[in-house]
A and B are shown apart, each in its own frame.
Chain A
Amino acid sequence: MTGRVALLGAGGFIGSRIVEMFHLGGLGDVRPIVRSVGALARLSRFDLECQVADALDQRSLQAALSDCDCVIHAIAGDPATIRNSVAPVYRAAQLAGVRRIVYLSSASVHGQAPPAGTDEESPVTPRQPLAYNGAKAWAERRLLKLREKGSVEVVILRPGIVTGPRSIWQTRFARDLLAGTACWLDDGRGICNSLYVDNLVHAIHLALAAPAIDGMAFLLGDEETVTWADLYGPVARALGFGSLDLPNVDYRPPPRNLRQLVRALEANRSARAIASLVPKRIRRGIFAAIEPLAPPGDSTWAVPNAQHAPSPVATLEMSLLYRCSWKLPDTRARQRLGYRPVVSFAEGCRRTIGWLEFAGFPVIQENQRSRAPSVPA
């Protein structure tokens, strides 16, 4: 049993569910901490003693962490925020007398498509193709370094694809599907290393109190081996799409040589405007070079096409994720934390669809889902 738990990043997707499970489910006494007053909007459903403190400001953090036994670091953000919040949080926790920090890292420190055999002992490097992965790996390393000289214990959790209510994965997919821009690779056969958010909160709760785990990292996942098609199928069906017949779209890297760069720029109207600032002599040379490459303007006789409908675009991250063929093991978490997923994948999908309906998505009731697939109004 732990004392009061400070939750950094309480206004986010995972933070919101931590507050719900701790406060409503009786897991513990939680103090939500957010960066701005506006982030209290969702938390204000509860009569809790919330704090506003910037994770980059050690002094305000220290005050917010007073009387807390543990800190859950669930701050989301860009790579700079991920890196820059580590030291202020650790030092503030130390000055506030905190016993342990549970840091929410990510399984992506092993890359989006880790090789078979990857586990917590596999090497992790901050030099990664995706800045987010590199920042998380850097943050882990920095935290452990701070621990060497500090008194606050550090436990690192590496969740996979965190699913559930408010998860960007299912929400974005639902929006893309309705907008006609959903796509995937290899028909969604890749392993998505899913982790329903309640299972993550369960693991966090265990990590706050488990003995002799200082400095350790834990991979976390659902019980089931889940593919992307498994994850997205229930969402699609709930929205009235009978079958998931999505285009397979691979990532296209940005132009690398000068000719490709110029061609991309030429296709961009705002780039043309910027080009007007370039001295005329140089500009003439550039456009003389690219003019033959420019696509012809639309003829008035051209048959109208779906040019106004946005095309599916694959990001590098998604392209790598869809290629994953390894289910990351949570053996260590089971052995050292006593972790067992508390919500099955099917139940997690059911609850997430319930949330989609709550959030205004046009969910079709189960007994009416036999209708022909169409884009709901």
Chain B
Amino acid sequence: MRRHGPRFRVALIGCGAVARLYYTPALRELESGGLLEVVALVDPVAAHSARLKEAFPKARSYPQIPGLPPDSIDLAIVASPHSLHAAQSIQLLQSGVSVLCEKPMATSAADARAMERAAGTGPGLLAVALVRRFFPATRSIREMLALRTLGEISSFEFSEGSESFAWPVASARYFDRREAQGGVLMDIGAHALDLMQWWLGSCVIVEYGDDAMGGIEANCLVRCQLENGVTGSLRLSRDCAMANRYTVRGSLGWLSWCTDTVDQFEFGLADTSEATVARPSGQAASSFEQAFLGQLRNVVAALRGTEELYVPASAGIAGSELIEQCYRQRSLMPLPWLDDREMARARELNDSLHAGVA
């Protein structure tokens, strides 16, 4: 693995909200620990990179990746708009730079696979930023399910959403179908479908409905089937306050994880609602911030060759394939407050989206 001096040289590609709110404090922390050094900030909007330059005064700013000297970069963190992930990652990997790509890995499964191929033909690693895999709660749930603690899985229900969109996006392009290529499924769904498969094994989409009517979905309902034939649902929303719980039921018991907790979940015996709170011990990450740092540390350790990548490209590809399956089966969700005329028009607009992926 290419490396200059004792610290890995990092480029931050895309200086928007996720770079500012999460990567900046995490990278500063790791910089102060001597693990890495941020040397480049890439964003077409000079004001965005200028804001991050206050945190990384030694870093140079670039408007585009082509201006970046690849020999001076070991790791690029791709935190740009979704639709740019594939092209930018491939470009960097082909230059020999390792990549940690934000979720969703790509806006199509074909693009995700092309990214993996690019990583396979060069010296760079490709990791996918699915930070929830670093939560103590989600890890413990995976272990519990692998040990068949709940018995035979009989059902699962995941729901997540809020009535207001709190993420501080800078540009309206985030909500533009042509740019974003998808809505809440592409966004939160990338996390949810990843955890679903990580916990329960591979699954297929049996039904998918959303409320995109010419634009991108603010609500969606996914019905999935596991390899043993068990079906479950995933309900996501940028419009309504959901329960924000991922619940799995089995023949012996159930467990439920609240999406705003990092280090605890509930479980109980089958046919009872009495819950026991589990707080996984012995794991370092006790907060979202620690989990985020854990993700970066794992990538750096993998670059050093001392750890396996915890979230390799294959995880991102599996998620992209499910998202693509969903959009291919798209139908309009029931919207029972619309009158007949509105519903007919809504269906027409939803159907028209089959021409494209989103």
Q: Which residues of A contact B (CB under 8 A)?
A: 20-21, 23-26, 37-48, 50, 52, 164-166, 198, 350-352, 354-355, 357-360, 377
Measured CA separation A23–B342 after assembly (Å)? 8
Chain B residues 169-203 with CB under 8 Å of chain A are 169-172, 174-177, 183
* B333-A45 in contact (CB<8A): no
How distant is the Cα of A357 from the Cα of B334 in the complex, in angstroms? 10
Q: Is the CB of B215 within 8 A of A44?
A: yes
Asked whether, in the complex, the Cβ of B172 is within 8 Å of the Cβ of A50, the reply is yes
Q: How far is the CA of A44 from the CA of B358 in the complex (A)?
A: 13
Q: Closest A residue to B345 by CB, please name it.
A: A24
Establish whether residues A24 and B338, one from each chain, have CB atoms under 8 Å apart when the complex forms.
yes
Known: A48-B215, A354-B336, A377-B273. A42 touches B346 (CB 8 A): no
Q: Are B335 and A358 in contact (CB under 8 A)?
A: yes
For residue B331, CB closer than 8 A to chain A, the reply is no
With contact pairs A24-B342, A45-B211, A358-B333 given, residues A37 and B218 touching in the complex (Cβ less than 8 Å)? no
Q: Is the CB of B169 within 8 A of A25?
A: no
A357 to B235: give the CA distance in the assembly, Å: 12
The answer to whether A38 touches B342 (Cβ under 8 A) is no
**Supplied contacts A25-B345, A358-B219, 4 more A-B pairs, CB within 8 Å:** A40-B165, A40-B172, A44-B175, A45-B183
Measured between beta carbons, the chain A residues less than 8 angstroms from B243 are 360
Looking at the complex, which one of B161, B165, B237 makes contact with A38 (CB distance below 8 Å)? B165
7 A-B pairs with CB atoms under 8 Å apart are A24-B349, A38-B165, A40-B172, A42-B239, A45-B216, A351-B337, A358-B335
As a 0/1 sequence over residues 58 to 86 of chain B, the CB contacts with chain A under 8 angstroms (1 = contact) are 00000000000000000000000000000
**Known contacts being A37-B171, A46-B214, A46-B215, is A358 close to B336, with CB within 8 Å?**
yes
B224 at the interface (CB under 8 A from A): no
A44 touches B336 (CB 8 A): no
Inter-chain contact A37/B341, CB cutoff 8 Å:
no
Known: A26-B341, A44-B175. A351 touches B336 (CB 8 A): yes
Q: What's the least CB distance linking B317 to chain A, in Å?
A: 27
C-alpha spacing A358/B235, complex, angstroms: 10
Partner of A360, one of B176, B241, B273, B338: B241
Contacts of A357 in B (CB 8 A): 336
Residues of A within 8 A of B164 (CB): 38-39, 41
| 194-236 of chain B: CB within 8 A of chain A | 211-219, 235
C-beta contact mask, B323-358 vs A, less than 8 Å → 1, else 0?
A: 000000000011111110111011001000000000
Contact present for B159 and A360 (CB under 8 Å): yes
Tell me if A40 and B175 are in contact (CB < 8 A). Answer: yes
A37 neighbours in B (Cβ, 8 Å):
169-172, 174-175
Residues from chain A with Cβ under 8 Å of B284 in the complex: none
Contacts of B46 in A (CB 8 A): none
Q: Looking at B183, B211, B235, B335, which has the most chain A CB atoms within 10 Å of its CB? A: B335
Distance of B328 from chain A, by nearest CB (Å): 19
Flag if B238 contacts A42 (CB, 8 Å): yes
Cβ–Cβ contact A355 & B337, under 8 A? yes
Question: Which A residues are in CB contact (< 8 Å) with B336?
Answer: 350-351, 354-355, 357-358
Q: A164 contacts which of B177, B334, B337, B343 (Cβ < 8 Å)?
A: B337
B242 within 8 A of A: yes
* Chain A residue at smallest Cβ distance from B212: A45
Residues in B with CB closer than 8 Å to A41 are 164-165, 175, 218, 238-239
- Chain A residues near B21 (CB, 8 Å)? none
CA distance A354 to B338 in the complex (A): 10
- By beta carbon, the residue of chain B nearest A352 is B337
Tell me whether A20 and B239 are in contact in the complex, defined as CB-CB below 8 angstroms, given that A38-B167, A40-B175 are known contacts: no
- In the complex, A41 Cα to B341 Cα: how many Å? 24
Q: Is B144 an interface residue (CB 8 A)?
A: no
Which of A41, A50, A360 has the largest number of chain B CB atoms within 10 A? A41
CA distance A154 to B159 in the complex (A): 44
CA A198 to CA B174, docked complex, whole Å? 30
Which B residues are in CB contact (< 8 Å) with A165?
337
Q: Which residues of A contact B349 (CB under 8 A)?
A: 24, 46-47
Asked whether, in the complex, the Cβ of B213 is within 8 Å of the Cβ of A45, the reply is: yes
Task: Report chain B residues within 8 Å CB of A25.
Answer: 339, 341-342, 345
Q: Check: B1 CB closer than 8 A to any chain A CB.
A: no
By Cβ-Cβ distance, the 10 closest A-B pairs, closest first, are A354-B336, A47-B214, A41-B165, A44-B175, A359-B240, A24-B342, A38-B165, A41-B238, A351-B337, A165-B337
Verify B239–A360 contact, CB threshold 8 A.
Answer: no
Q: B248 to nearest A CB, angstroms?
A: 16
The complex places the Cα of A355 from the Cα of B338 at a distance, in Å, of 10
The answer to whether residues A358 and B212 also contact, given A41-B175, A41-B238, A42-B239 and a CB cut-off of 8 A, is no
B166 touches A (CB below 8 Å): yes
Quote the shortest CB–CB distance from B125 to chain A (angstroms).
34
Tell me, in angstroms, the Cα distance from A2 to B93 when the chains sit together.
55
Which chain B residues lie closer than 8 Å to A42 at the CB level? 165, 218, 238-239
CB atoms of A47 and B337 under 8 A apart: no
Question: A197 — nearest CB in chain B belongs to which residue?
Answer: B337
